[in-house]
Structure 1
Amino acid sequence: MWYTIFSGLICGALLGFVMQRGRFCLTGGFRDMYIAKNNRIFYALLIAIAVQSIGVFTLIAGGWLSYDAGAFPWFGTVFGGYVFGIGIVMAGGCATGTWYRAGEGLLGSWIALFAYMLTSAAMRSAHMTDFNHQVKGLSTAHNSIAETLGISVWPLIALLLVVTLAVVAKELRKPKLKMAMLPPKRSGLAHLLFEKRWHPFITAILIGLIATLAWPLSEATGRHFGLGITSPSANIIQYLVMGDSKFLNWGVFLVLGIFLGSFIAAKASREFRLRAADARTSVRSFGGGILMGFGASIAGGCSIGNGLVMTAMMTWQGWVGLVFMILGVWTASWFLFVRPQRKARLQTASA
């Protein structure tokens, strides 16, 4: 039990620290792809996926891990991923982003997080058993892309690596915008960790390494998966309601560690402060949290479970889920940002 607590908290704290300092927000990144035509965070996600994919399949090849992708629940992945994408825009952050922003003191994220946890737990209750079985029944035999194609997974990893290196190299060749920077107040390691702006690509490499580390740490506790946010978040509510210690698994301490690591990073970088949301934002955050919990539950994962981990495992669930998650983000961005701005510009022009 002590190993479960310690390793889960440490892995989560590392992830929360890195994501907070690197401002690694997939919601904002997916939204920027559509609104600002800026793909930098998406390219960073590809880096994290590639690093983890190489690391985990190397462990599998060495006999340290085993993994079975199982069946591909296509309906839940498509519909759930799309709903989840809409929800994270309303909530102002994805599952992991909501956890680390709660650690920064953002009360709107607390509201979204509570709704997300509560809905995820409700989706795992006995009342939803028949519905979940029907959704999972809409699946195909092979989730692994390599098994479907009848090839080794390594050519797929090589293709991902080549594409990732190509888009990253193209991005790095773009002229850099010169920004006015205040004189550093700290020096040495303190400046690098808590003051200097972290490059998203460096952040992504670190996230990929942490995601790789999560597999053997989790495996040692009997949990055969890497990073995961939705099920552990639901397990917290289930434990609080039922009091059954079976819900206190490695994943629970992982998500609690994300909160802790973000809090430490925010305090050390002087970015922590309690920020209340207005009534409209609070209601939208709560609604977004509900959609996040529902969507991630039927999709079998969130932006981390599907968008980072299952993509790295070269599964249909991961890549198809990621596509529909992004489409959900773009849809919500149209209604919440693009459309209102266009309407305001038209009103201004006609005034």
Structure 2
Amino acid sequence: MLHMIISGLLCGAVLGFVLQRGRFCLTGGFRDMYVAKDNRIFTALLIAITIQSIGVYALIAFGLVQFTPGTFPWLATAFGSFIFGIGIVYASGCATGTWYRAAEGLVGSWIALFTYMLMSAVMRSSHFAGFNTEIKSFQTPANSIAETFGLPVWVFIGLLVVVTTFFVTRELRKPKLAVASLPQKRTGLSHVLFEKRWHPFVTASLIGVIALAAWPLSEATGRMAGLGITTPSANILQFLVTGDYKFVNWGVFLVLGIFIGAHIAARGSREFRLRAADGATSVRSVGGGLLMGLGASLAGGCTIGNSLVMTAMMTWQGWVAMLFTILGVWTASYFLYVRRPAKARLVTQTA
């Protein structure tokens, strides 16, 4: 139990610190692909996936960790991920983004986080057992992409390396944009950790290493999985309501650690500040959090569980989930950032 607490909190704290200091949130990254035609965060995500994929399958080859891809519930994955994608735009953050922004003092993120946890817990209750069983019955027996094509998984990892290298090279060749920065007030390690702007590719590399380390750390406690946010978030609420310790595992301490690490980073960089949400933001946060919990529960994971971890494991669930999450983000972004400003300009011109 002590090992579970220490390793879970430590892994989560390091992840939360990196996420907060690197401002790494896939909601903005997926949105910017459509709204700003900026693929930097998506490219960074590919870096994290690649590092994790190479590392975990090397650990599997040496018999140090285990992984079973299971079946592929295609309907629940696609539909749930699309709903989740819409939700994270209205909540102004993905699962990890909501956790680390709550640690920065954003009340809107606290609202989204609570409703996300609530809906995730509700979806795991007996009230939705029939619905979950029915929608997840639409599945294929093979979730492994390598198994589907009858090829070694390293063929697909090699392809991922090539694709990632292409995107990274293309991004690095682009002209660097001038970014305003505050005057340097610290020196040495303090400047690097709390003041210097982190490059998204550096942040992604660190996340990939952390995601890799999560596998043996988690499996050492009997939890046979890597990083995950949705189920542990639901487990926290279920434990608080029932007091049943069956809901307490390594993942619970992971997400609590994310909050702690992000709070330390926010305090150290002087970015912590309690910021109240107005009425419109609060309503969006409630709706976004509910959609996040619903979608991630159906899809079997969020942007971390599916778009980072299951993609690295070369599963259909991971890559299909990421595709439909992006489509959901783009759909919500159209109504919030594209269509609405266009209507506002039209009203101004005709007034």
Smaller-chain TM-score range? Answer: over 0.9
What is the Cα deviation at residue 31 of structure 1?
A: 0.4
Corresponding residue of 1:40: 40
Residue of structure 1 in register with 2:235 after alignment: 235
State the 1:153 CA deviation. Answer: 0.4
Q: Which residue of 2 aligns with 1:80?
A: 80
Q: Which residue of 2 aligns with 1:213?
A: 213
Partner of 1:49: 49
- Taking the aligned partners of 1:338 and 1:98, their CA distance within structure 2 comes to 23
| 2:143 corresponds to | 143
Q: In the comparison of the two structures, how many residue pairs are matched?
A: 351
TM-score normalized by structure 1?
A: 0.99
CA deviation map 1:82-129 (0-9, x unaligned): 000000000000011100110111110000000000000000001111
1:132 lines up with 2:132 in the alignment = yes
Letter in 2 for 1:334: Y
1:180 Cα shift? 3.4
In structure 2, give the amino acid aligned to 1:251: G
Secondary structure of 1:93's match? Answer: coil
Query: How far apart, in 2, do the equivalents of 1:350 and 1:236 lie?
Result: 52
Tell me the SS of whatever aligns to 2:136. helix
Shift of 1:132: 1.0
AA paired with 1:305? G
Q: Compute the displacement of 1:179 (Å).
A: 2.7
Distance in 2 separating the partners of 1:332 and 1:301: 20
Paired amino acid for 2:175: P
CA drift at 1:350: 2.2
Q: Deviations over 1:20-56 (max 9, x none)?
A: 0000010001000000000000000000000000010
Aligned to 2:7: 7
Q: Is 1:314 paired with 2:345?
A: no
Question: Cα offset for 1:246?
Answer: 1.1
* Equivalent residue number for residue 152 of structure 1: 152
| CA deviations over 1:63-85 (Å, ceiling 9, x no partner) | 10111101001001000000000
1:277: which partner in 2?
A: 277
Query: Which residue pairs with 2:99 in the alignment?
Result: 99
Q: Give the alignment of 1:63-78 within 5 angstroms.
A: 63-78=63-78
Cα distance in structure 1, aligned partners of 2:317 and 2:243:
33
1:213-265 Cα shifts (integer Å, max 9, x gaps): 00000000100000000000000011011100111100000000000000000
Q: Which amino acid aligns with 2:130?
A: D
1:172 alignment partner in structure 2 = 172
Which amino acid counterpart does residue 60 of structure 1 have in structure 2? I
In structure 1, the residue corresponding to 2:256 is in which secondary structure?
Answer: helix
Match of 1:302 in 2: 302
Question: C-alpha distance in 1, partners of 2:182/2:10?
Answer: 33
SS at match of 1:340: helix
Question: Post-superposition, which runs of at least 4 consecutive aligned residues in structure 1 deviate over 4 A?
Answer: none
State the shift of 1:181 in Å.
Answer: 3.0
State the identity as a percent: 70
User: Could you tell me how far 1:155 is from its partner in structure 2?
Assistant: 0.8
User: Could you tell me how far apart the structure 2 residues matched to 1:105 and 1:157 are?
Assistant: 39
Unaligned runs of 5+ in 2: none
Please report the RMSD computed on the Cα atoms of aligned residues, expressed in angstroms: 0.7
Q: Deviations over 1:118-149 (max 9, x none)?
A: 00000000111111111221100100000000
Q: Normalization by structure 2: what TM-score? A: 0.99
1: CA distance, partners of 2:193 / 2:330 = 33
> Partners of 1:165 and 1:189 in 2: how far apart?
30
Structure-to-structure mapping, 1:105-124, within 5 angstroms: 105-124=105-124
Q: CA deviation at 1:336?
A: 1.2
The one-letter code of the counterpart of 2:116 is Y
In 1, the alpha carbon distance for the partners of 2:51 and 2:62 equals: 17
Partner of 1:31: 31
Following superposition, the deviation at residue 283 of structure 1 comes to 0.8
SS at match of 1:137: coil
In 1: Cα distance, 2:339 partner to 2:62 partner: 52
Residue type at the aligned position of 1:241: V
- The one-letter amino acid of 1:293's match is G
